[in-house]
Structure 1
Amino acid sequence: MTRKFDGKRILIATHNAGKLEEMQQLFEPYGVAVVGAAEMKLAEPEETETTFVGNARIKALAAVRATGLPALADDSGIEVEALDNAPGVYTADWAETPNGRDFGMAMTKTHDLLEEKNAPRPHKARFRATLVLAWPDGHEEVFEGKVNGTLVWPMRGQTGHGYDPMFQPDGYEVTFAEMDPAEKNRISHRADAFSQLIAGCFG
C-alpha cells in the first residue's frame, strides 16, 4: 500500500526549469505547491549509482536532508537493446562536452556503434524514467515508467530534447521530436511514471 501525500509543499529535486514547470502543472489540481532545487539554492549531488532508481534516490534524499521537505526526484535515459541496454543511466554522460551537453553527438555515437556492430534492424530501444518520492521520516515510494520504440536514422524533427529526434515510439510513424509536445507528454516514459505516482500517492 503506497503512502498518500498529505503535505502542502513538495520539493522537486531538479535544476531544470522546463521540468519544474511541467511538475507545477501536474500537481496544481492537488493543491500542492512546488518548489525547485535552484530556488532553494541546493547543490546538485553526484550521481554515483549504476541504476535509475539509485540515482533518483541520491537526488531525492539529498534534497530532503538539505531542506526537511518531502522531495521528488527522477532519473531517466534510453536503453538500446543491441548495445546491451546502453547508454541507460549514462545517457546524459554520452552527450557531455567541455561546452555542455550535445545530444546530436550522442545520437551520432549511438548510430555509429549500431553500424559497427552490424546490429539487425529494427533497432529496438526504450526510454525509462524512475521517480523517487522521499519523506523526511525516511519513507520513500518508487515508480518506474517506460515507453518502447525503435531508433531511426537520420534524426527527424525539431521539438523535444535528448534522444527524441531518433526515437520512434511503437504504434507511431513519427519520432518524439516530430510529435506534438502534448501528445508526447501523454505517452512518454515520464508520463507513465507520473500517472503511477499520482494514482499511488495523490489519487
Structure 2
Amino acid sequence: MKLVLASNNAKKLLELQALFSPLGIELVTQGSLGIPEAEEPFLTFAENALAKARHAAAHSGLPALADDSGLSVEALGGAPGVRSARYALDAGGEKSDAANNDRLLRELSGVEDRRARFVCALVAVRSADDPEPLVAMGRWAGEILTAPAGEGGFGYDPLMHVPALGQTVASLPADVKNRHSHRALAAAQLIAQFREVWHLG
C-alpha cells in the first residue's frame, strides 16, 4: 500500500519506512509529488499531524501519513514543543539543528531540572475527509545535557540523554533508536491500528 508522507525530511522518511515495512507500506514524500508543505497553526502535535495528513491526502488523492514531533522540556513549560524545528528562528536566529540546540542550552543555563521528553504524534488518513483518522502518540523520556554528544540522529538527539540506555540519542545505533524512540512507540500503536482498522499486514 502506498502512503504519502507529509514531510520532506529524508531522515524521517528512512526511519518511518523501516518501522512500517513489515506491513508492506511504501512511503513517498509529498515533495516528490510536488505537494507544498502544509500550515501548522495548532498548539498540539496531534492537531498539526492531522492537518498535515489531510493536506497531503487532498493534494495527492492517496492515503497519507503525517508525523508531528518535537521536544518538550519540563522546566520550559513544555517548550519548544510544536515549535521545536523553528525554536531558534522564533528568537531571531536561523532555522537549523545547531541553532536550535544552542538556544535550548542558553534557555537551560543554570537550570537544575533538565527532564525532557521527545513526543511524536503519528496520524494516518485514508482520504482528505476521512472521518476516522488513526492517531498514535509516543513519548520518550530523558534529560538535556549541558553539551552535545554523539554523531548520529538529527534535531535535538545530541542533547537528549536517555538514562535507561546510558547515552544520548545521537550515540545510539539506528536499530536501537528505532526500537526505543518516541517515533517507534507511536509507530507500534499505529501498526496495531493499521492491522485492526485498515486490515493491513
TM range (shorter): 0.7 to 0.9
Aligned equivalents of 2:24, 2:153: Cα separation in 1: 28
Matched, 1:193 2:186: yes
What is the deviation of 1:63? 0.9
Q: 2:120 aligns with which of 119, 129, 134?
A: 129
The residue that corresponds to 2:82 in the other structure is 89
Bigger mean CA deviation after superposition, 147-156 or 31-40: 31-40
In structure 2, give the amino acid aligned to 1:145.
Answer: G
The residue that corresponds to 1:102 in the other structure is 96
What is the deviation of 1:105? 2.1
Query: Which portions of structure 1, spanning 4 or more consecutive aligned residues, are displaced by more than 4 angstroms?
Result: 97-100
Matched, 1:120 2:101: no
Q: Is the 8 A contact 2:19 2:178 kept in 1?
A: no
Aligned equivalents of 1:162, 1:21: Cα separation in 2: 15
What is the deviation of 1:103? 1.9
Aligned equivalents of 1:16, 1:184: Cα separation in 2: 17
Note the alpha carbon deviations across 1:78-117, whole angstroms, 9 max, x for none. Answer: 01101111101110111449996322222222122222xx
Matched, 1:56 2:49: yes
In structure 2, give the amino acid aligned to 1:112.
Answer: R
Note the alpha carbon deviations across 1:14-59, whole angstroms, 9 max, x for none. Answer: 1122222333333333233322212211010121111101111111
Bigger mean CA deviation after superposition, 148-157 or 9-18: 9-18
The residue that corresponds to 1:24 in the other structure is 17
Aligned equivalents of 2:34, 2:169: Cα separation in 1: 32
Unaligned runs of 5+ residues in structure 1 are: 1-7
The residue that corresponds to 1:68 in the other structure is 61
Mark the CA change 1:31 to 1:177 in structure 2 (over 3 Å): closer, same or farther.
closer
Note the alpha carbon deviations across 1:133-186, whole angstroms, 9 max, x for none. Answer: 112251201100010001111111111111011101131221111121221121
Aligned residue pairs, count: 193
Aligned equivalents of 2:154, 2:64: Cα separation in 1: 24
Aligned equivalents of 2:172, 2:189: Cα separation in 1: 23
Matched, 1:33 2:26: yes
Residue 164 of structure 1 aligns to a residue in which SS? coil
Residue 61 of structure 1 aligns to a residue in which SS? helix
The residue that corresponds to 1:140 in the other structure is 133
Q: TM-score, normalised by structure 1?
A: 0.87
In structure 1, give the amino acid aligned to 2:96.
Answer: D
Q: TM-score, normalised by structure 2?
A: 0.88
The residue that corresponds to 1:4 in the other structure is none
Mark the CA change 1:87 to 1:99 in structure 2 (over 3 Å): closer, same or farther.
closer
